[in-house]
Amino acid sequence: MEKHKLATRVGEIAPFQVMVVLTKAKQLAAQGEDVIHLEVGEPDFVAVDAVAAAGVDAIQQGNTGYTAATGLPELKQAISDDYQQRYDVHVSPERIIVTPGASGALLLMASLMANAGEEVLMPDPCYPCNRHFLIQTGVKAKLVETRSEDGFEMDLNTLSDHWNDNTSGLWLASPSNPTGAVLSKAYLTQAWQEVQALGGHLLVDEIYQGLVYEGDDFSALSIADDIFVINSFSKYFAMTGWRLGWLVVPEWAIEGATKLAQNLFISAPTVSQYAAVRAFQPDVLAECEARRQILNARRLALLAGLKRIGLPVVAPAQGAFYVYVDVSSVTKDAMAWCLDLLETEKVALTPGADFGMKDAHKYVRFAYTCDESRLEEALARIARFIAA
């Protein structure tokens, strides 16, 4: 056997291009440069104090062993109650599988629903790890072309053209990373009808749920119990490093998902689970709502600023904390432009190539994860860079 030979699938996984930007940004910061970070998909808030305190409490009380594989019963109940209260949808706690982040839920989903050799459809652009989780299980991600004129929404009327005997399902996200676009209930209802007619599964990644500024903030679970839904404490609750998310499965998939969760993870992080039980109390939700309003003010400032400096926003930025921007009027290569901008003006953005294949060199993603004055400063620097 050849020595030092990695599995073939490793070669199929693309590294994040933004890491090149991030490494460069860190070098510049280490040299004392004032870098404005608009590249990382992570809130600039931390867990609400009461939630963090519940985590500390769990450690002090020795609540640190494994939990049940699908999660602490009180957390599953709290998530179920929250679906009822905030989204008016009944989801029994048994259908909720608590996972290490939405990442764990995506890996679980890839293992649960697709056979090796099959394909899963998703729009181009989308969250890049989706396709990599599928590769782990020998499944192929098939990116379906979308048009900027449609806000990068997949045309459902042509879904059957992309579907074949080997297609297992369709994965969508709302609000979307990288565009921030929110899918309407009518759109998701049609997606579900089409997928059912074609005989596959539908997954909706709702990790940015709650961070909606325009359009409906609803759950796909209100459309049908047989839709799979992913969520996480990373974004709305600003708990990225606590590594906690969940997957909602239909009744008929509970047993299979439980077996997989036992084997893949044993359980999600215990301290984080105890902390997260506290997240659904009214005081914490009120704090999260106040943060949503801060994010919305930033979003509006960024959209106005981009208009001012003549960079078109190519998808309706209605949710999450992203804006997807067309930079083709100022460069032929968004990645090179990002590096040049960083070097010259110390503003870090994410190149479109991290999210899609088609025309990705035209786009960059802004994350409005810094306060408004820094956003304004970033816009002024970008304007100067373009004018130079």
Among 43, 55, 101, 316, binds ligand PLP (CB under 6 A): 101
Among 70, 80, 240, 369, binds ligand PLP (CB under 6 A): 240
205 lies in the binding site for ligand PLP (CB under 6 A)? yes
Amino acid of residue 232? S
Among 41, 71, 169, 352, binds ligand PLP (CB under 6 A): 41
Distance between CA 363 and CA 2 in Å, rounded? 41
Nearer to ligand PLP, 92 or 103 (CB): 103
Query: Is the separation of the CB atoms in 98 and 268 below 8 Å?
Result: yes
Among 114, 121, 207, 382, binds ligand PLP (CB under 6 A): 207
Of 215, 207, 136, which Cα lies nearest the Cα of 171? Answer: 207
245 lies in the binding site for ligand PLP (CB under 6 A)? yes
Task: Pull the structure tokens for residue 49.
Answer: 């104090």
Candidates 16-24, 100-108, 183-191, 301-309; binding stretch for ligand PLP (CB under 6 A): 100-108
Among 79, 114, 127, 183, binds ligand PLP (CB under 6 A): 127
276 lies in the binding site for ligand PLP (CB under 6 A)? no
Distance between CA 294 and CA 131 in Å, rounded? 32
209 lies in the binding site for ligand PLP (CB under 6 A)? no
Amino acid of residue 253? A
Nearer to ligand PLP, 129 or 297 (CB): 129
Q: What is the CA radius of gyration of the chain?
A: 21
Distance between CA 293 and CA 161 in Å, rounded? 41
Phi (first) and psi of residue 113, to 5 degrees: -115, -10
Q: How many Cβ atoms are within 10 Å of 235's Cβ, its own excluded?
A: 24
Query: Is the separation of the CB atoms in 73 and 227 below 8 Å?
Result: no
212 lies in the binding site for ligand PLP (CB under 6 A)? no
Query: Is the separation of the CB atoms in 108 and 136 below 8 Å?
Result: no
Task: Pull the structure tokens for residue 257.
Answer: 């998902």
Task: Pull the structure tokens for residue 231.
Answer: 């969520």
Nearer to ligand PLP, 67 or 240 (CB): 240
206 lies in the binding site for ligand PLP (CB under 6 A)? no
Place of tokens 């600023």: 305
**Least distance between ligand PLP and beta carbon 169 (Å):** 16
**Interface map 295-334 toward ligand PLP (x if CB under 6 A):** ----------------------------------------
177 lies in the binding site for ligand PLP (CB under 6 A)? yes
Q: Which residues bind ligand PLP (CB under 6 A)?
A: 41, 101-103, 127, 173, 177, 205, 207, 232, 234, 240, 245
